Amino acid sequence: MTTARIRPDEAEHAAARRSTPADGDRRPPYRTPAERAGLGRAARKAAPRSSHAEFPADPRRPDPVDVVEQQSADRLPELVPIRYGRMTESPFRFYRGAAAIMAMDLAATPKTGLRAQLCGDAHLLNFRLLASPERQLVFDINDFDETLRGPWEWDVKRLAASLVIAARANGFDDKERAGIVRAGVRAYREAMRAFAAMTDLDVWYVHFDEAWIGERLPQRVAARGRKQWRRAAAQARGRDNVQAFEKLTRIEDGRRRIAPDPPLVTPLTDLLPDVQRAMLEDQIRRLVEAYGGTLQSDRRFLLERYRVADVARKVVGVGSVGTRCWIVLLLGKDEGDPLLLQAKEAGPSVLTPYAGAGGHRTEGERVVSGQRLMQATSDIFLGWERAEGIDGRRRDFYVRQLRDWKGIAQPELMVPAGMSAFAELCGATLARAHARSGDRIAIAAYLGGGDVFDRALAEFAEAYADRNEKDHRALVDAVRSGRVEAQEA
């Protein structure tokens, strides 16, 4: 693979590849641990811990369907109905696609004034088993499309509400749902207090591996739950580059190609006429070459051993449907040496209107910088690039491996004890991510040793789940009335 040439008018973009802070903030002044703890306790005056139970009704709240439609305006119009089709399936699926709505709602809730790098979409399905570069199975946050620096409590509230919504779908009662949320928030609080007592370097080295998870699950789940965990770990190891290669590609006219599965997977050969297809294929090839400049030098060297063999458009997730997402098949020494990358369009974070813009020059850099800061260990091929499309518009992308040992939770199979244990894993993992970028001592002091915040979040989550169900019904009604079009896929 040759190195992409950078035109003179791209000099400023090339400079953006250099390491920048994860946000626009300058380095904070030095404060002693006692002073930092004092800041956390003082924040209780501005936002008492019990006040986080509040989710007041706002008569001026915008129509949730309008918010979703505004997001869809910049997306591929032929894919937008798939997004609506997925969001109307259930309140939980709606919630997964409604990060923009919740960001708007969270902006009106009490704020501690303490900030950290946020996931921005910390619902329970965005906590997964992943592979570390050392080929160990770890548990971490997975989705960073909305990452931005902001109030740490916003991530905790999004996680808490997702737990209630998933628990309602399983028919769990009020007491069971409250117990699940309180378990997850308690785990966050206790983990943050533990991180507050650690050195900066020790916090940075913390990661939650398979052994760590195994030590905790047996104490809280029955034999069935432990069996499900072992099966999930084995399945995660099987969801790798080779498995994706075998599932998504085939031999066509003597060449290895990505197999079509319209409308979810559409090769360029089926998507565009010959001239436009060739133009887009060349642009994506140059994107892959150029993005290597955002990788570590050894990983860039590895990437350059591969050549682009085929490209297809892929529909991913729920909230992301309609954004431009390309899967790129690369081959190394021969056709038995594949690498599948995903180049996904990165737009502004849904948090930006409420938390402020970060200090990054491109949205792809924002996603990658946030992911590297929050994850204990990240994909070796994670990077970003700005590219020009066949319509002449320049768009931001981030690139990563399509699959690398990914294990996804199945909340619909969980009993209350199992979901409670999973909530604890998510809460502790979110605390570790926030402890790397936020003032863990101040946040720990704010939370304290009691369960005031835990109980408040359980109330908030129930209230927000009610709101989410109403918003889901509004979208369902919009589809039935013909206001928006939905398509199953």
pLDDT digits (tens, 9 = 90+) for 417-446: 989 999 999 999 999 999 999 999 999 999
How much of the chain, in percent, has pLDDT values that exceed 90?
A: 74
Q: What is the pTM for the complete model shown?
A: 0.91
Would you list the domain boundaries of the chain? 36-237+411-481, 240-401
pLDDT digits (tens, 9 = 90+) for 132-149: 887 888 899 999 999 999
pLDDT digits (tens, 9 = 90+) for 320-329: 999 999 999 9
Confidence check: pLDDT of 98 > 80 = yes
Largest CA distance in the chain: 70
CA distance 193 to 151: 18
Mean pLDDT of the chain: 90
Spatial CB neighbours of 385, under 8 Å, sequence gap ≥ 6: 287, 290, 291, 294, 343, 364, 396, 397, 399
SS3 303: helix
CA distance 240 to 238: 6
Residue 28 token pair: 């904070």
CA distances from residue 473 to 429, 443, 477, 481 in whole angstroms, order as listed: 32, 36, 6, 12
Provide mean pLDDT across the span 236-256. Answer: 81
Confidence check: pLDDT of 268 > 80 = yes
Residue 225 token pair: 């739950």
